[in-house]
Amino acid sequence: MKTRTKAVVIGGGIAGCSALYHLTQEGWSDVVLVERDELTSGTTWHSAAQVTNFGMNQTMVGLKSHSIGLYKKLSEDPAYPINYHHGDGGIRLANTPAQMQGYRHFTSMARGMGVEFEVIDAAECARRHPLISTTNLLGGLWDPLDGDIDPAQLCQALAYHARQAGAEVYRNTPVTGLTQHRDDTWTVETSKGKIDCDIVINACGYRVNEVAAMMGVQHPVASMEHQYFLTEDIAAIAEAGHRMPLLRCPISDYYCRQEKGGLLVGFYEQDCKTWGMDGIDPNFVNALCPDDLERVMDVLEGAFERMPALQETGIRSIVNGPITYTIDGAPLVGPIPGKRNAYCIIGLRAGLGEGGGHGWLLAQQIVHGEAEYDTWCIDPRRFGPHANVELTALKAIEDYQNEFRFHFPHEHRPAGRNARTTSLTPVMAAEGAEFTVINGWERVDYIKPSVDFQPSLSFDFDETFDLVGAEVKNVQENVGLTEVNGFNRLEITGANAADFLDRMFCGRIPRKAGRAGLGYLLNHHGRIKGEATLANLPASDRGPARIWYGSAAASELHDTDWLQAHIGVGEDVQIKSLSNDQTSLVLAGPKARAVLSACARGDWSAQGFPWLSVRESHIGYAPVTVLGVSFSGELAYEIHVPNASLYAAYLALREAGKAHGLKLFGARAVDSMRMEKGFLHWKADLLTEFDPFETGLERFVKMDKGDFIGKAALQARSATGIRKRLVTLEINCTRSPAHPGASLMQGGEVIGTVTSGDWGHRVGKNLAYAFVDPALAAPGQQMVLDACGVPTAAEVIATCVYDPGFSRMRA
């Protein structure tokens, strides 16, 4: 066994084998996989092994398409062929118009990734799958490339090709310890000796947290028992003359595919069961849980109704084994939070179907620093510290019970709510607030007109439309107040803090005390890594001179890791998180200054406290830090309050606001207003796939300043020009917004993809942001939005359609 290698992959299921294979494909041959038993002895061996193109976003569609292409290539390789039923086709059923509308959106989204789905009616579903009944059925989504694969053969093929490229695989080699050294390299201790390496990759399936504990971390991954059975042969299958398409049924919570002359039928029962919460038997290898068909009888009855042939078919065998879930159902693929040179590829509940793509994107991140797609939807750092295993188990149960029910826009399911709250959460709830969830935080979404108000789940504008419009109108004409909890707030100090940040940001940073500014961080490829507001705070009785770094709540772990990783040897820079110590209140509208002046001493005039100023003060007797910044386009103040004083500051603002028409507003109103201003959301519009010039942020890039991360890449790419351009569109539709991922068409070809969409209440326009071909980015360009299957006219318009001179923010 080697004693030194570049990377060690721990785990020999689909995740580990895919990671190993793709590392060799990216050019790393000196890599090793260690497996405690035999390859595929965990979850992989009993996988139902379905391989679909369907995903909830373009990254997931892209990695699944890669899996399909890779598996087809491997199956046709004469050196090590595998059994892959490619292109049997698959149907996702629907019995409501809303589900059908959702399928039309996913069809539009997938088209931008080169994937063609088809929305079909109930009769066509039955024609393509002759075993199903059309009772209570409207139609379905057809994936022509759906299929299934032999899981053991697939993993062995990946390992074979990795070995051919120079990798080594050590079976029956349990990992017993992990030690990280001062230079961030690792020693992997095994039953057969130690291996020193640069990179460690946790690919341990349901034993993920056994290895995580050796690193001193815990991952939000929990396991669920999952049952399927194999039937005896069914005559109608032989008579059909073709393989049965795969079927996924959100109506009755089951799936099925052909297995030899019969069916494999799997269940997502409501009376589901977690597994391994109190530890896993070390001898649970190539093992299953006890059969428990009683638990799935309610689901089985629905399957009988949909497929009457099942009522006359015997069961050949039953499989009940653990599968892993994360807190939001999507896998964790990428850097491990708080660790250097440590990665994971875990929580793959649909591991066989998409594992090829996960390993591909992970290998790109390890070897090149980023993947070719923005991978935030699978990034392990997308959750804050609230994401413990107990909360994950509750969300896993909920996801399991809704396996084939996609999330609608603005849908927040009930499990795990109130994980992160402030003292204002119950106060605002009592005032009618409905909440959305941001990185676990309960944040005001809109104000309900009544306790029992419940909007529809739809891809159209819903019943909140006029409520949000009223909130926006009050902010525009008077003044509004909202809480922005969970805001990522880092305090950066040290003699080299300013120079360090100057190197991290591509533009000028504020150097003068009492001033703030917005800037962007790039990765080494010159693509957008992050967005942050920097505020220079002078020394005071609250602390030494310091710089506050503020960014999106979801970026909490991502940004901290990025900044910490780039502090140079000998640099005097310290970074402290204040995210859980303070909360932001946003006061916005033309009367905001009057409200602030009524409850805070000092000169808050446009001359005394101009736009982009920062000042320590008090709201009433609550200590606060006030920034003159705006995400709404109106005069606004971001008021940062220690959590112990949050309620006091809130009461003082409410009291001062009575004379000025102050009302609460929520996140939906903010989104409407920021669209009108051309303001972007991190990981919606700000993606690692595009550079600042492509994203329309050239005014924030100063190529004439000293060196900064990404500068060399921007210089090298300057001669080639941009590939896409972010534009603002006006959509000729009053029925529904443009949804992220929707395709823009011209001449029958996809020429762009929507990143954000919402109604601009102040300008009365349906607005969207989209990346389009540069030749089509000029205002006046016409194109067609595929809006849930409805061709809808769209026109490029100038960015910032509301107050383009920014006079209201500076007033």
Q: What is the pTM of this model?
A: 0.97
Mean pLDDT to the nearest integer, 124-147:
97
Torsion of CA 276, 281, 285, 291, to 10 degrees: -60
Sign of the CA dihedral running 440, 443, 445, 447? positive
Which secondary structure element, helix H or strand E, spans residue 599, and what is its range? Answer: helix 592-599
CA distances from 367 to 118, 333, 341, 521, 731 (A): 37, 14, 11, 21, 41
User: Which amino acid makes up residue 660?
Assistant: H
Token readout for 732 is 């000729």
Walk across the sheet containing 147-149 and list its strands.
50-51, 147-149, 84-85
- Decide if 516 contacts 616 (C-beta within 8 A): no
pLDDT tens digits for range 304-342? 999 999 999 999 999 999 999 999 999 999 999 999 999
Q: Which pLDDT score, from 0 to 100, does residue 752 have? A: 98
Instruction: State the Cα–Cα distance between residues 592 and 600, nearest whole angstrom.
Output: 12
DSSP code of 705? S
CA distances from 34 to 43, 47, 159, 161, 336 (A): 16, 21, 11, 16, 19
Q: Which pLDDT score, from 0 to 100, does residue 579 have? A: 95
The answer to whether residue 445 scores a pLDDT higher than 90 is yes
pLDDT tens digits for range 541-552? 999 999 999 999
Nearest Cα to Cα of residue 212 among 388, 26, 463 = 388
Least confident of 32-36, 98-102, 235-239, 738-742: 235-239
pLDDT tens digits for range 724-734? 999 999 999 99
Helical packing angle, 592-599 and 646-657, nearest 10°:
120
- Decide if 21 contacts 359 (C-beta within 8 A): yes
The answer to whether residue 248 scores a pLDDT higher than 90 is yes
Instruction: State the Cα–Cα distance between residues 558 and 556, nearest whole angstrom.
Output: 6
Nearest Cα to Cα of residue 92 among 60, 40, 129, 57 = 129
The answer to whether residue 351 scores a pLDDT higher than 90 is no
Mean pLDDT to the nearest integer, 344-372:
96
DSSP code of 293? G
Mean pLDDT to the nearest integer, 663-681:
98
SS3 content of the chain, % helix, strand, coil (to 5): 30, 30, 40
For residue 719, name the pLDDT band (cuts at 50, 70, 90): confident
Q: Which pLDDT score, from 0 to 100, does residue 350 have? A: 87
For the chain, what is the mean pLDDT? 97
The answer to whether residue 718 scores a pLDDT higher than 90 is no
The answer to whether residue 657 scores a pLDDT higher than 90 is yes
DSSP code of 232? P
Please report the DSSP string for 319-381 in residue order. Answer: EEEEEEEESSSS-EEEEPTT-SSEEEEE--TTHHHHHHHHHHHHHHHHHHSS-SS--GGG-GG
User: Which amino acid makes up residue 77?
Assistant: D
Q: Which pLDDT score, from 0 to 100, does residue 451 have? A: 96
Helical packing angle, 351-368 and 58-75, nearest 10°:
100
- SS3 annotation, 623-665: EEEEECCCCCCCCEEEEEEEHHHHHHHHHHHHHHHHHHCEEEC
From start to end of 52-207, where are the E strands? 84-85, 90-94, 118-121, 139-143, 147-149, 168-170, 175-180, 186-190, 193-202
- Which residues are CB-contacts of 76 (< 8 A; sequence separation ≥ 6)? none
Mean pLDDT to the nearest integer, 378-390:
95
Torsion of CA 603, 609, 614, 619, to 10 degrees: 40
pLDDT tens digits for range 24-44? 999 999 999 999 999 999 999
Q: Residue written as tokens 């300008």? A: 763
Token readout for 260 is 């030899």
pLDDT exceeding 70 applies to what percent of the chain?
A: 100
